[in-house]
A and B are shown apart, each in its own frame.
Chain A
Amino acid sequence: MPTIWLVLVLIALSVAGFFLGRNRALVSANGNPKDLHSLPSYYGHNVALSALVPALGILAVWLLLQPMLIDTRVSQMIPQDAVPEGTTLGLVMSDVRRVAEGLDIAVAQGAMTPEQARNVRTEFSDVRGRLGEVGVALGADVRPEVMRAAQTYRSMSNTGTTLMTIVVALVAIGGFAWSYGRTHKDFRARNVVEQGIMALLIIAASLAILTTIGIVLSMLFETRNFFTLHPWTDFFFGGTWAPNFRGDSELSILPLLWGTFYVSLIALLVAVPLGLFAAIYLSEYASSATRSFAKPLLEILAGIPTIVYGLFALLTVGPALVRFFGRGEDGILGVEWMTGATSVLTAGLVMGIMLIPFVSSLSDDIINAVPQAMRDGSLGLGATKSETVRQVVIPAALPGIVGAVLLAASRAIGETMIVVMGAGAIAKFSGNPLEAMTTITTRIVSQLTGDTDFASPETLVAFALGLTLFVLTLGLNVLALYIVRKYREQYD
């Protein structure tokens, strides 16, 4: 990994720059720091930052842009008629990348010399077989134009990497030399360094926006690819989910949405009453000793990783439900309603347990925000405590509670591990909570784990599902915030 070495060299350079710069400033002031404009360390920081930051920035941008540029250049090499019927250029390009990667691995393992990798022709040798030997499995025989494109791809990325190393090193040395040259006792080092740090702070803050853009763009692009391969009408309005890796799949989101909502509904039916009553008791009735004991304990439930809940659903709750509702004569109820441990009820119950502290601590905060004077007024009129809670406190806190429930719903829809392990894998419309059903998150996991082929709609559908999930949860969050803001009572 030459990039890591490059980064290490840059860091070493900047550390050296710190000491050299500080020294030079002190020397220019004849060793008397009082004659300097800034504190000596600012001169050192100036040199260190000038050497390191621009070079690292260029390195990062280069690493991001190089694959894109090479992709466009190489894809121009592939003639329009070389793209087989039913696929797109993007799919041929993923073949090209795979072959190029295979050649790299073959060279690294010594199965080919670099010379051979540059010149090997599919017309004369079995490239697929030779790459298969080094562990790169190719779906079909390599076509000549793909092979040539792959070789260009390799040579371009090799040149690109070399060029990048040179440019980054030059920028680092240039920054070092320039700032070192400027170092003098009258140089206003502190102002320059503070401006630089300010720029870094702004970049760090905008990274959050970059992440969001990255999420949206990455999913949008692949979703667009998916819709070129698969009709969008089937995705949104079809009725069946039946992926078939030999092609001709039916990929409709509706059965998955149904499963997702069903599981979330059961989870909320468990979590909302329990969480709400727990919050009411803790904030209105409990002594401070009970509160300080029960609240942290309940919140432990929220801190447990979801994989634990998943295992709990799969190995404990599921079999326990089967003992109740299944096994025919041997079961506790003597009925045969449930066959496997995975079901909507299993996942919903466990997810509900997970969400109890989520609902209770959010509602607790909201109930505590209702002013004491309103309670006192109600109690003074002769209402009992429970009447006060039901008729005064809850109506006052209602917008916040609705917001909390919506946030819990968004959490339930996006939850992955519990449904992956507890809900099952069968996509269908059914009202029976004892049947296994599947959810959006489960399908994303199953379509994207293992060998992913970014050329097939069966893989790409996961991005469309992910985008739907993102929009759904984001919408719920925005709605929750909106309700809280719009209907919040101002008591002060």
Chain B
Amino acid sequence: MTDLSQTPASGETPMPQKRGQSLLEPSDRTKRRNAAETRFKAYGIGAIAIGLLMLLVLVTTIFSKGLGAFQQSFVTLQVELLESKLDKNGNRDIDDIKKVTTFGYAPIIRGAIEAKVTELGIDTPLKAKDMAGILSKDAAATLREYVVTNPGQIGETVEFRFLAQSRVDGYLKGRVSRDSIGNDKNISAGQLDLVDALVAAGVVEKTFNLAFILGSDASDARPEAAGMGVSMLGSLFMMLVVLALALPIGVAASIYLEEFAPQNWLTDIIEVNISNLAAVPSIVFGILGLAVFINYMHLPSSAPLVGGLVLTLMTLPTIIISTRASLKAVPPSIRDAALGVGASKMQSVFHHVLPLAAPGILTGTIIGLAQALGETAPLLLIGMVGFIASNAPDSIASGLLSPNSAMPAQIYEWAKRADPAFYERAWGGIIILLVFLITMNTLAVILRRRFERRW
């Protein structure tokens, strides 16, 4: 009882409460400590608030900048498919028609837009060539493709919806203004006047752009025609490879390590190895892919097969770790009961433990796939950027082996290009990518909620 024997009047030790002061009235020191408490709590709230604010800023940035990519400006024109230009011989021979290049179609488009402007009575100092300049460079190709597939329409007047060029599109979306086009050789103020007039007449309008979701990438000069579709297929093929390899290998490895492996140094090495592999930077897997799959095994570069193999190696640790956790969650009594009625060890695992762990394994696999879907760095090294993924693969083999891009690689590719019109595409691409990721993660959560068993 030293407390009591100590003389309080020694005066050396600072007393929390001065003599004669009410206990109900906080002393200076109490006030200081309470203030420190409040501050400390405020730091915590502040940290969380900053984190959430960043999330909010990120999400609003993505949506405010990316939603525009889902809309595109189109110019509706009546085009007279002049026989004299498209089929000089008049015999509708498909080979002759194919000989007319897109240059041959340009005058027709010029004529169509000039006719439209005259019909609407718009007064503009522009020449026909400059009027046609508000259309995408894609317009002639669109027209040619239509004529080649429908040669019977030559001589008729057909209504077309052409893509407007990216500056016009940006003008309608507020990205391009009259001040910002000072040094831009792609567009002039006169053309913007024409666009204003055409918008008022309902010829130029912004509508939903399915081609952005389903279409293919386009060259530097035609940002308005670029789409995600083909790179989505590339991602799909990579995910198929990952699923086909990582799921069986990962589950097999986990079953061995969790159910059969004896406790020895080899098992230890494998376990340490797996946990270390999970922390290796993804770009190192890209180097491995380049050195082993492309340089040594001579698999085609830029192929989704190679991308899938690299991503498989990268996701394996994730899948193994989550599979082992769900195998561990199955109570030993299940195994004992199976062994008790005469099943072999292998049968008890494959017939009883594995089905019970399946929901957990599936959840882990989906999360691993989502991680692989968003991964970019290794894909850069195996060459899935830097070219225009323009043609959708026509078979499974070509889908796996012919060069393609992938969604994150395509976004990176757009972000690298000089024309700011591609930035909108990149943000839009991110929205599509996030939609996939959110769907997969939600699916994983639902699966876990629906099938999770508490023992």
Contact = CB atoms under 8 A, between A and B. Distances in A.
Say whether A and B bind each other. Answer: yes
Interface of A: 1, 4, 63-64, 67-68, 97, 101, 190, 194, 197-198, 200-202, 204-209, 211-212, 214-215, 218-219, 221-222, 273-278, 280-282, 284-285, 294, 297-298, 300-301, 303-308, 310-312, 314-316, 353, 356-357, 360, 384-387, 389-390, 407, 410-411, 413-417, 420-421, 441, 444-445, 448-450, 452, 454, 462-463, 466, 469-470, 473-474, 477-478
Contacts of B297: 63-64, 67
B228 to A, nearest CB: 13
A356 B47 CA distance: 9
26 contacts: A97-B298, A201-B256, A206-B270, A207-B253, A208-B277, A209-B269, A211-B313, A215-B285, A278-B44, A285-B41, A298-B48, A303-B370, A305-B433, A312-B61, A353-B58, A356-B54, A357-B51, A385-B41, A407-B279, A413-B281, A414-B284, A420-B377, A444-B287, A469-B284, A474-B276, A474-B280
B146 interface: no
B100 interface: no
A160 B427 CA distance: 48
Given A205-B261, A307-B374, A389 B253 contact: no
Given A1-B397, A307-B411, A450-B386, A441 B37 contact: no
Contacts, number: 256
Contact of A201 (B255, B285, B296): B255
B2 to A, nearest CB: 15
A410 B313 contact: no
Identify the 10 closest CB pairs spanning chains A and B, nearest first.
A414-B281, A281-B44, A305-B374, A204-B252, A386-B40, A218-B291, A277-B47, A416-B377, A201-B256, A205-B253
Contacts of A305: 373-376, 408, 433, 437
Contact of B415 (A280, A298, A421): A421
Given A201-B255, A208-B274, A298-B55, A281 B377 contact: no
Contacts of B433: 305, 307-308
Contacts of B281: 413-416, 441, 469-470, 473
Interface string B247-282: 011101101110011000000011001101101111
A361 B92 CA distance: 70
Contacts of B58: 301, 304, 308, 312, 353
Contact of B291 (A67, A219, A474): A219
Interface of B: 33-34, 36-37, 39-41, 43-48, 50-52, 54-55, 57-58, 61-62, 65, 248-250, 252-253, 255-257, 260-261, 269-270, 273-274, 276-277, 279-288, 290-292, 295-298, 313, 316-317, 320, 344, 346, 370, 373-377, 380-381, 383, 385-386, 397, 401, 408, 411-412, 415, 423, 426-427, 430, 433-434, 437, 441
B178 to A, nearest CB: 20
Nearest to B445: A296
A383 to B, nearest CB: 9
A31 to B, nearest CB: 24
Given A303-B437, A305-B374, A315-B426, 11 more contacts: A209-B269, A215-B288, A221-B291, A274-B51, A305-B408, A308-B430, A314-B415, A384-B34, A420-B380, A421-B415, A444-B381
Contacts of A278: 44, 47-48, 51
Contact of A301 (B51, B375, B377): B51
Residue of B44, B50, B58, B401 contacting most chain A CB atoms (<10 Å) = B44
Nearest to B62: A308
Contacts of B430: 307-308, 311
A63 B296 CA distance: 10
Given A202-B256, A298-B51, A1 B291 contact: no
Main secondary structure of the interface of B (DSSP, over half): helix
A353 B41 contact: no
A201 B260 contact: yes
A49 to B, nearest CB: 13
Contacts of B270: 205-206, 208-209
Contacts of B51: 274, 278, 298, 301, 353, 356-357, 360
Contacts of A207: 249, 253, 316
Residue of B57, B291, B373, B385 contacting most chain A CB atoms (<10 Å) = B291
A298 B58 CA distance: 12
Contacts of B380: 416, 420, 445, 448-449
Nearest to B410: A307
A304 B408 CA distance: 12
Contacts of A312: 58, 61
Given A281-B41, A389-B40, A441-B377, A449 B277 contact: no
Nearest to A194: B346
Given A201-B253, A280-B44, A211 B277 contact: yes
A169 to B, nearest CB: 20
Given A207-B253, A305-B437, A312-B61, A218 B292 contact: yes
